[in-house]
Amino acid sequence: MSALLEIENLTKSFGGVHAVRSCTFSVPEGQVTGLIGPNGAGKSTVVDLVSGFGQPDSGSVTFAGQPLAGKRPDVISRLGLIRTFQTPREWRNLTVMDNVLLARRRFASESLWRSLTRARRIRREEEADRAAVRDILERFQLAELRNELAVRLSGGQKRLLEFARIAAAEARLIILDEPMGGVNPVLGARIGEAVRQFAAEGRAVVVVEHNLPFIENTCHQVVVMDLGEVIAQGPFSGLRDNPRVVDAYLGMDQSHE
CB of 115 to other proteins, least distance (A): 3
Q: Which is nearer to other proteins, 207 or 250 (CB)?
A: 207
CB of 214 to other proteins, least distance (A): 17
CB of 245 to other proteins, least distance (A): 30
CB of 226 to other proteins, least distance (A): 27
**Distance from C-alpha of 190 to C-alpha of 194, rounded to nearest angstrom:** 6
Cα separation values, 199 from 191, 194, 252, Å: 13, 9, 32
The 10 Å Cβ neighbour count of residue 209 is: 21
Rule CB under 8 A: which residues touch other proteins?
51-53, 72-74, 77-78, 82-85, 89-95, 97-98, 101-103, 105-107, 109-112, 115-116, 119, 122, 126, 130-131, 134-135, 138, 141, 143-149, 151-154, 156-157, 165, 169, 184, 186-187
Q: Which is nearer to other proteins, 152 or 244 (CB)?
A: 152
Q: Which is nearer to other proteins, 51 or 211 (CB)?
A: 51
Q: Which is nearer to other proteins, 58 or 115 (CB)?
A: 115
Q: Which is nearer to other proteins, 140 or 236 (CB)?
A: 140
Q: Which is nearer to other proteins, 30 or 85 (CB)?
A: 85
CB of 240 to other proteins, least distance (A): 31
Q: Which is nearer to other proteins, 107 or 237 (CB)?
A: 107
Look at strands 173-177 and 81-83 and give their pairing.
Answer: parallel
**Distance from C-alpha of 130 to C-alpha of 115, rounded to nearest angstrom:** 17
CB of 141 to other proteins, least distance (A): 6
Sheet holding 229-234, edge to edge: 81-83, 173-177, 204-208, 32-36, 221-226, 229-234
**Distance from C-alpha of 34 to C-alpha of 180, rounded to nearest angstrom:** 13
